[in-house]
Amino acid sequence: HIGDNARINTFATGDHQAGDITLESGSNFTCNICQAPDPGDYFADIDQVGTPVTAASTSSVSIVVDSGARLDARNLDHADLGGAVTLDAHASDLQVAGWSDADATVLVNGALLGASVDVTARADAGVNFAWLAGLGAGNADGGILGVLEQISDTQFDDIHNRFIQNADDPTDLTNLLGIGLPASADARVTIGEGAELHAGAGDVNVNAKATRTVNGASGGLAGSQLPNIGLGAIYGQVSGDTAAVVSGNALLHGDAVNVGAASTNTLNVAAAAQVTQAKSSKTKGNQSAAFALAIGRARVNTTATVGQHAQVEADDVDVRATGLDNFSTQATSMALRGAKGNGNKK
């Protein structure tokens, strides 16, 4: 946070090279679960499967340059010897289950002066439930196999009743043996009232970028180790706002002025259910049934705006909002009736 009327100067005169000015927020993070000796320990109980498990996170970051503040990296005599002024806020929240939320904000109401000026907000939110498919067998009494044993011990009637309870709201999977995978990323750059971005020998770039990724499948829970539970339920969502905004009486000057907002959204969810039920008193009417529910939702806004009172001085001006989407939602189920007893055909 650069406060009101603050000064950061690396300017030069004559034949001397001016220094660069760089403000970064959230560019470094560590991955804790990646180094776990047995990742299956994170899922010792079925109730934990739907809770967030962080792989790496700097989930909320911001850079603010207040009104009257001045960052000056110019060469006052030779524009091409000026330094670069760079503001980069990068939020990243990567999960293997549960909710992912990343928020990156840059607000400039002061002056950024240099040979080139780059202002960027980046937000990356991702949930990769397919990561679970790579887990080892682990300990049969705990870890991922312990979760699967709890699932396989659930009676058909209980599964059926939970499914019916959710019929009024298919997005509410709280009572189901299902997985919810929402990823929300907001990236916003605002060049506001009183701001001046001046590139004496290069471009002014104002960019907001967001990546939202959900990759998961109920049938992918430990891959081939999944028992015939008869139910697969998964809900995936990508959401958020990506915005690059030049507003108020802001002044942007450079060889080229580029204002861009870009969203990359990937949503791949699949639910698979299969059950082979032997004739038994545990099943009403000696029936077998399988239920699969897959829901995918995308709610994303991407905008690049230059307000009517803003002033842009450049040979080339590019104002662009782009979105790249890759969405896939699938549900499959199969129910079979087997012979009564221990699998011996009669």
pLDDT 10s digits, 175-214: 444 556 788 999 999 999 999 999 999 999 999 999 998 8
- The residue count of the chain comes to 346
| 79-107 confidence digits (pLDDT tens) | 999 999 999 999 988 777 667 889 999 99
Confidence of residue 41 (pLDDT cuts 50, 70, 90): very low
Q: How confident is the model at residue 38 (pLDDT cuts 50, 70, 90)?
A: very low
Rounded CA-CA distance 333/176 in Å is 16
Question: Do 119 and 189 meet the contact criterion of CB atoms below 8 Å apart?
Answer: yes
Decide the pairing of beta strands 179-191 and 100-108. Answer: parallel
pLDDT band at 1 (very low <50, low <70, confident <90, very high): very high
Q: Give the number of other Cβ atoms within 10 Å of residue 266's Cβ.
A: 18
Angle 74-77-81 (CA atoms, 0-180°, nearest 5)?
Answer: 50
Q: Of all residues in the chain, what percent are helix, strand and coil, respectively (each to 5)?
A: 15, 50, 35
Residues whose CB falls within 8 Å of the CB of residue 124, separated by 6 or more in sequence, listed in order:
90, 91, 92, 93, 94, 102, 185, 210, 211
> Tokens standing for 226?
């999944």
Give the mean model confidence (pLDDT) for residues 249-259: 97
Residues pairing with 260 in the sheet: 207, 320
Ranked by mean pLDDT, the top range of 199-203, 221-225, 322-326 is: 199-203
- The rounded distance, in Å, linking the Cα atoms of 105 and 91 is 9
Cβ density class 103-138: b for 16+ within 10 Å, e for less: bbbbbbbbbbbbbbbbbbbbbbbbbbbbbbbebeeb
Do residues 221 and 198 lie in contact, with contact meaning Cβ atoms separated by under 8 Å?
A: no
Confidence at 237, pLDDT banded by 50, 70, 90 = confident
